[in-house]
A and B are shown apart, each in its own frame.
Chain A
Amino acid sequence: MKPIYLDYAAATYIDPRVLKKMVPYLKGNFGNPSSLHLIGRNTKTAIEGARSVIAGILNVEPSEIIFTGSGTESDNLAIFGVAKAYKSFGNHIIVSKIEHKAVFEAAKKLGKEGFEITYLDVDSKGLIKLSEFKKILRKDTILVSIMYANNEIGAVQPITKISKIIRNFRKKHNSIFPIFHTDACQAAGALDLKINKLETDLMTLNSSKIYGPKGIGCLYKAEKIKLEPLIVGGGQENGMRAGTENTALIVGFAEALKLAEKLRVKESRRLKKLRDYFIKRILKEISNSRLNGHLIKRLPNNVNVSIGGVEGESLMLMLDREGIFASTGSACTSESLEPSHVLLAIGLLSEMAHCSLRFTLGRKTTKSDIDRVLKILPKIVYKLRKISSIKR
């Protein structure tokens, strides 16, 4: 029985083409990019090449790309970096209620340190309310962080519209604030990443969601933006992130993003079809099930449903036994024992948040995979509902 992996939003396998590019820097080219001799220069060249590739995809200058250790680190660098660098200009920060924990927890921490944080509401589909956003912008708002696409429910935010509102606000107040950051980790490979279109000042990307290696991410930082680094030392990455660069990971990341961008339009179209087919059949064939998130403004690979009366972890583990790998926003899989903050933010009752199940599709997903899940899932739901104490 072939295992069916449907958790691509959690992690992707490394594309063999990516791995191939990485191998020389794991095996032979070991030099420290900061060394001025040939051995060092070899790795320096590779890193700068990778930086140019990523900059090209974003349509920005290579010097505006900072390599970091993960998407989380990039998010942290953006949030803490801006807050600390511009502290004297304002005390107010806006983040959406459905940010990834890497942004959410960073903002919360700043809140404890004396910053004023406004958590921007989303509607029942997970989209931010632009009119409300306009209202909460203040002269002392130094930073806005709103994710491009949500990792749990796949909701895609209108980043260009948000940018426009921010631009107008800046013009009106003749200010450089607020600075705008977006977490685009889930958007890469699915949505347009061009900064001249999105017009954000900062953008987080990482490699492990786009068939690249884990442990590497980057932050796009517009030239004019100042940041206080999180890690100091040898001054690498323009003084923004000290530590000897991991050449293999950087090269792998660039190659992964290049491939993801190349395949983006075609693969997104294919996945959207599969996604819609999957959603339609679940909602039709499983009673008391609902889709979480927006039907259209969602990532091409994201299916997030709540199935009434059946707890998510139980469902996930029963699927696991059948060789189907999914995830859940149920409290039982989180350390905090709280159900997903994203599902609660879209107004789901705790009861239904505990019953959520997320499938995220990827390059290896086929229609026959989906059909097999659709054969097994209703049986598992039936079994769990039979032993469930909730009326169904």
Chain B
Amino acid sequence: MKKKDKIIKGDVVPDDKYKEESWVYSEIVKDHFFNPRNVLLDDTYYKADGIGVAGSPACGDMMTVWIKIDSKTQKIKECKWRTFGCASAIASTSMMSVMVTENGGMDVKKAMHLKPQQILERLGGLPDRKFHCSVLGDIALREAIDNYFQK
């Protein structure tokens, strides 16, 4: 009865409703959105071996990626980024940065061929319509690697 009274009283949001399970994104996306990994807050003194940009503000998603590469092993030592965009854009860049730096770093050649689907899988999926517009991390990464090889 108490519950019913509460709703009739006109509470905007009854306390027992609206728990987190109704989120449109997976728990992993949510985690990376609220706690993004490898963000480069200030690039003033950051000495990157390669820089890449993907997307545009007009499209609603844009990201910059900075990488450091071990010249001997040709593995990605660091992958830093900043992203303007929706939750899935932020989370997917964050996840990409983890994927290429974990386990001692990804081989540059392998990283060149990183597919957005691989990022998607690690994120535990994304709503269909979000996938194409917001998973741009691989493009920015490729740009950064190209940039490294051009140097």
Contact = CB atoms under 8 A, between A and B. Distances in A.
B92 interface: no
Given A5-B13, A390-B62, A19 B8 contact: yes
Contacts, number: 84
A15 B12 CA distance: 10
Category for how many chain B residues contact A: 35 or more
A386 B41 contact: yes
A314 B133 contact: no
Contacts of A335: 129
B111 interface: no
B90 A314 contact: yes
B85 interface: yes
Interface string A291-333: 0000000000000000001111110011001000100001110
A389 B53 contact: yes
Contact of A313 (B41, B64, B86): B86
Interface stretch (A165-173, A220-228, A346-354): A346-354
A388 B60 contact: no
B10 interface: yes
Between A311, A325, A386, the greatest number of chain B beta carbons within 10 A of the residue's beta carbon is seen for A311
A4 to B, nearest CB: 9
B1 interface: no
Given A314-B86, A387-B82, A5 B12 contact: yes
Contacts of A16: 8-10
Contacts of A337: 129, 133
Between B9, B85, B134, the greatest number of chain A beta carbons within 10 A of the residue's beta carbon is seen for B85
A321 B39 CA distance: 21
A14 B60 contact: no
Interface residues of A, number: 33
Contact of B86 (A3, A332, A350, A351): A332
B86 A330 contact: yes
Interface in B42-97: 53, 57-64, 81-90
B109 interface: no
B40 to A, nearest CB: 9
B13 to A, nearest CB: 4
A135 interface: no
A13 B84 contact: no
A234 B132 CA distance: 48
B36 interface: yes
B11 A13 contact: yes
Interface of A: 3, 5, 13-16, 19, 309-314, 317-318, 321, 325, 330-332, 335, 337, 339, 349-351, 354, 364, 386-390
15 contacts: A13-B10, A16-B8, A19-B8, A313-B86, A314-B86, A314-B90, A317-B33, A318-B34, A325-B13, A330-B86, A331-B60, A332-B85, A332-B88, A339-B60, A349-B58
Given A16-B9, A350-B59, 15 more contacts: A5-B12, A16-B10, A19-B8, A311-B84, A311-B86, A311-B89, A314-B87, A332-B85, A332-B130, A332-B133, A364-B10, A364-B12, A388-B83, A389-B62, A390-B62
